[in-house]
Amino acid sequence: MRSRTPKVLHELCGIPMVLWPVRAALAAGAGQVVVVDAPERALEGMLPEGVRLAVQPHSDGTGGAVVAGIAELDSDAADAPVVVLSGDVPLVSADTIAELVHAHEASGAGATMASTVLEDPTGYGRVVRDEHGAVESVVETKTDGDATPEQLEIREVNTGIYVFSAHALREVLPRLSADNAQGELYLPQALDLIRVDGGTVAAHAIADERLVLGVNDRAALAQVRALAQEAIHARHMAAGVTIVDPRATVIDVDVQIGRDTTIEPFTTIRGATRIGEGCVVRHSYLIDSVLENGATVGPFAYLRPGSVLREGAKAGTFVEIKNSNIGAGAKIPHLSYIGDADVGEGANLGASTITANYDGQRKHRTTIGRRVRSSVHVSFVAPVTVGDEAYTGAGSVIHEDVPPGALGIARARQTNKEGYAERRARALAPKDAS
């Protein structure tokens, strides 16, 4: 990845890549989920409640990772099948995991691996079959010398997803060898050892290769992100959301959108944003915000974390909102910044309304009451309160509270200087050299 960030912590549609297979395992009904991490414990604090973190003391390969992980399993799960997923194979679905476990239990095998056929299998371990079609071995291809030229021509690959009989897996793990070009413990060797012990190894082919694509670089991450985004869009559209141009729309996996909402092109919706029914979002950027039913945003609006638009509220053209509660039916039509504010229902804030919320040390809140009408180019210097049904004059800098129903004006009185243009012209005219 050429990155200081561990590969599985690279973001994929709003969450770290590793959380995709973790969530799939939980949705598939896994009784226990263990995630294996390096000694730096970069994943600590990022996992869902109930998911355990195991530490692999040394970077000694996939086999060493499973040794660390299986040690964290409870003894009362000794007879349950053990599913091994990869943190860099994020699109595996709960249905695929359940299907693989079912195939494993039906076959009675000691181990079942998930395979698929790729047009370009570069970087994947190749599945070698015998003359009867049974799985003979899995050959790694990480470095020169791991596989022969003939094996490199094989397009059926190991996806890194397995189901093991817990007993069989525990028997063979201590016998894994690092006798390979990489000097690592390769988990596929466990399949060979299970066969040596008289067990059988099955392979379950995954027809949709997209579900088992691995991420080894940023180009692959972009490919997987496009597939994940396509699935997210399809889920929302199937639920009654109009996405005018999915190719020009970014929506994170945890975003919720109600039916009959329209998302217009060049919109990005990030984090855990929740959008109600009948909303319209036009060419805007939303992060961790809430839109209640009938709210409208944009075009070219920016809703930062903590922004809440109540029912029927509007954030219009070139409006930025941060950590603010905009009341039902309130309108901020254009060219405004509203930060750390509470705006009452039915308020209408004119163009270029600004809340000056920061005094250089602390953030302060602005409270704007119900049905307030602010004229254009008004700044509210927090902390300040504007009462219900109050007005403010254009160009005002409001730094004191405005009582309900009052008109607040805070600006210098205009002065006109007669004859100014003529005097200025004379002053700037060239002096007579004589």
Q: What sign does the CA torsion over 162, 168, 172, 174 have?
A: positive
Please list the alpha-helical segments (H only) found in 180-317: 189-196, 218-238
- The bridge status of strand 111-117 relative to strand 201-205 is parallel
- The catalytic position among 10, 204, 233, 334 is 334
* Through-space distance between the first and last CA atoms of the chain, rounded to whole angstroms: 77
Integer-rounded Cα radius of gyration of the chain: 31
Find out whether 276 and 295 touch, Cβ atoms under 8 Å: yes
Measured over the CA atoms of residue 373, residue 375, residue 379 and residue 381, the dihedral's sign is negative
Q: Is 334 a catalytic residue?
A: yes
Residue 198, token pair as written in the block? 């008289």
User: If we measure between CA atoms, which residue out of 360, 386, 396, 392 comes closest to residue 374?
Assistant: 392
Q: Evaluate the omega torsion of the peptide bond into residue 403 and state whether it is cis, within 30 degrees of 0.
A: no
Task: Find all residues with CB under 8 Å of 427, minimum gap 6, and list them.
Answer: none
Token digits for 338?
Answer: 């509203």
* Helix, strand, coil share (%) of the chain residues, nearest 5: 25, 30, 50
| Separation CA 215–CA 231 (nearest Å) | 18
CA distance 353 to 334: 9
Closest residue by Cα to residue 377 from 347, 350, 357, 400: 350
- As a whole number of angstroms, the distance between CA 429 and CA 82 comes to 91
Give the integer Cα–Cα distance in Å for 273 and 275. 7
Active site residues: 334
